[in-house]
Amino acid sequence: MKKLFPLKRTSIFRGKQLYVRAVDGISFEIARGEAFGIVGESGSGKTTLARLILRLIEPTEGLVFFRDRDITSLNASEMKKLRRQMQIIFQDPYSSLDPRKDVFSTIAEPLRVHQLAGDASTLEKKVRETLKLVELPPSESFTSKMPDELSGGERQRVGIARALVLGPEFVVADEPVSMLDASVKAGIVSLLVDLKQKIGLTCAFITHEIGLAYYICDRIAVMYLGRIVELGSADEIIHEPLHPYTRLLMEAVPPLYPDENWASTIVQRGELPTGAGLPCGCRFHPRCTEAQGICRNKEPELAELKRDHYIACHLR
Amino acid sequence: MPLLTVDNLRTYYFTQRGAIRAVDGVSFTVDKGQSLGIAGESGCGKSTVALSLMRLIKGGRVVEGSIILDGLSLLEMPQREFNHVRWRKISLVPQAAMGALNPVYRIGDQIVEAIRAHVRVSKPEAWARAGELLRQVEIDPSRARNYPHELSGGMCQRAMIAMALALNPDLVIADEPTTALDVVTQAQVLKLLRRLQRGLNLSVIFISHDLSTLAQASDRIAIMYAGKTVEIGDTLALLRQPQHPYTRALLGSFPDIKSTGRRISALPGSPPDLVAPPSGCRFHPRCPAVLGICTIKEPAMTEVLPRHYVACHLPSSKG
């Protein structure tokens, strides 16, 4: 069953007459129960996209549909009600928790904000259940801890608990593990995979680490400078990448064994353009080893090349 | 004879709660022209090792141990003498270059400043040297006139590498040099460091939490946990036949998309409090193979395979 978002042209501008086209014409859908990966380097627009989906920032153009309902035109109180169903897990576990609230208060807060707290014992029960869901101890000694008494992994689990306590259908996870250590990352990633199975959580998983997206996600969209350049199943994107940028990303990932040939063709491909200066034609062409004349003049549209595998490229 | 020998290094930070035993008996060597990777998670002490080598520890001090660089004992020499050694024989590329550079000075000015702080040369000579250095790190020398915000993250990091190479040191310590960079830029910087290592016969200590980065950038790897080295060996041998349970756990937690099968394993618990670390082996509370002796006696580093050292009570395995 389909659910969620066709999101069309959206851009953000900053400053007079100068546009940073952070998200520039993105459309996709996320199915119920799906883990949808959005992969891109910094400057790709993925974090902006994450906030747009939840209307934490407003699109310049375009629509977001949640359960076949256009949420872009809802007013504040309608949107607030909807937020019970749509939540976010933030990237930085060190700044996303209120340092003056203990674990219990942090997780209870969404219930209070949405007037779903009930009486004291109901509230306690809900908080404890959510803690168990994220594999944290539901004991009083734990819930009375303050954020600075928690490890990075524990903080992030509290952040996840806070996102889940209202029982949302959909969660956006914005780089949820990028600030955590390797072995801690693995724990959080495993937790998210479990949650997906246990409670049928639908999620948009935003990351710059394509390897992580592979572990959690069913489908992956690869973003570059505000647009989606490739979209397909996680298996196909990782094992049969079609777009030159996706291939570049895959090539750049260092393997876990020494390889002299690794990244040998990456060396002189330049870096991401910054700010408002976008290349004309295909945005990737200055860094593309296969660029042709048409690539410099005309921007390619995202089109279905193989079944359920989309790519924005003139050359395929 | 190795270029650098670190023996039984202990660096503690002194706080109200007590002494944080951040580096607590670390020994390793680095040969001339060799790259040693130091891997470990936050709090394991790897950055403290780097700062100890550079005598840049604040809020604490090296309480024991020796550091011998090219025959010179770095910890014992007076400050004035060490100031001659620092940057000329050993230098540091800090983390997150964009933040380490002064935003109100041009890149060239900053490299020149580093040069002239240590040797008496004229400004024109120093500028010429700065241009050479930038070329060496594959930046157009004309960019010396740019400010940090006019360069990308990757270029800033390369400018910091240039600065570290300014006086032709024997040893460069790179502290998480690619962590803040995008994966493609990271690949470029890693390849550059390898080329410099080989081209200049440079010794490098490469600090990172990312084992896949170290797999490409270092000849040998030392794994640190809770202030101690737990395993040291040649890169390929260590990655293919990890001996220590922590090394295995760490390897298992990296998504390796280049091999088949989706598997990722988590290590329960978290690193210990370094004011009061666990008795015996510091890893024992989280170790899947813990034995009785592990809770009582600290294991010593022993050579279990040729040039492959482990600190563990468990018998070594070949697989």
Does the pLDDT at position A18 exceed 60? no
Give the type of residue at A120: A
Paired tokens of B111: 């490299």
CATH homologous superfamily of B4-89+169-311 equals: P-loop containing nucleotide triphosphate hydrolases (3.40.50.300)
pLDDT digits (tens, 9 = 90+) for B244-281: 999 999 988 887 776 655 667 778 877 888 989 999 99
pLDDT digits (tens, 9 = 90+) for B151-179: 888 889 999 999 999 999 999 999 999 88
Q: What distance in Å separates the CA atoms of residue B294 and residue A240, rounded to the nearest whole number?
A: 46
Q: What is the pLDDT of residue A106?
A: 95
pTM check: above 0.90: no
pLDDT digits (tens, 9 = 90+) for B7-39: 999 999 999 989 999 999 999 999 999 999 999
pLDDT digits (tens, 9 = 90+) for A270-281: 666 655 567 888
Task: Give percent of chain B above pLDDT 90.
Answer: 77
Output the average pLDDT for chain B.
91
Average pLDDT over residues A197-223: 91
Contact between A42 and B213 using a beta-carbon 8 Å cutoff: no
Does the pLDDT at position B238 exceed 80? yes
Least confident interval from A2-16, A38-52, A113-127, A277-291: A2-16
Q: Compare CB distances from B215 to A153, A211, A255 and report the shortest one's residue.
A: A255
Q: Does A215 touch chain B (CB under 8 A)?
A: yes
Give the type of residue at B188: Q
Contact between B152 and A274 using a beta-carbon 8 Å cutoff: yes
Q: Which residues of A touch B253 (CB under 8 A)?
A: 182-183, 185-186
B39 neighbors B179 (Cβ within 8 angstroms): no
Does the pLDDT at position A88 exceed 90? yes
Contact between B239 and A256 using a beta-carbon 8 Å cutoff: yes
B230 neighbors B244 (Cβ within 8 angstroms): yes
Q: How far away is chain B from the Cα of A240, in angstroms, using its nearest Cα?
A: 12
Does the pLDDT at position A158 exceed 60? yes
Q: What is the pLDDT of residue A7?
A: 53
If you write DSSP's letter for every residue of chain A in order, what string do you get? ---S-------EE-SSS-EE-SS-S------TT-EEEEE--TTSSHHHHHHHHTTSS--SS---EETTEE-TT--HHHHHHHTTTEEEE-S-TTTSS-TTS-HHHHHHHHHHHTT---SHHHHHHHHHHHHHHTT---SHHHHT--GGGS-HHHHHHHHHHHHHTT--SEEEEESTTTTS-HHHHHHHHHHHHHHHHHH--EEEEEES-HHHHHHH-SEEEEEETTEEEEEEEHHHHHHS--SHHHHHHHHHSPPSS--TTTTTTTTTS-----TT-PPSSSTTGGG-TT--HHHHH-PPPPEEEETTEEE--TT-
Q: Does B212 touch chain A (CB under 8 A)?
A: yes
CATH of domain A1-32+40-74+211-254+262-316: 3.40.50.300
Q: What distance in Å separates the CA atoms of residue B133 and residue B147, rounded to the nearest whole number?
A: 17
Does the pLDDT at position B115 exceed 80? yes
Residues 22-81 of B with CB under 8 A from A: 41-42
Instruction: Give this complex's ipTM.
Output: 0.82
Paired tokens of A291: 């660029």
Average pLDDT over residues B38-60: 93
The domains of chain B are located at 4-89+169-311, 101-168
Q: What distance in Å separates the CA atoms of residue B275 and residue A84, rounded to the nearest whole number?
A: 43
Contact between A255 and B41 using a beta-carbon 8 Å cutoff: no
Confidence grade of residue A9 (pLDDT, cut at 50, 70, 90): very low
Output the average pLDDT for chain A.
86
Q: Which residues of B touch A266 (CB under 8 A)?
A: 184, 187-188, 191
Q: At what angle do helices A120-133 and A152-164 cross, to 10 degrees?
A: 120
Count of Cβ atoms closer than 10 Å to residue A277 Cβ: 8
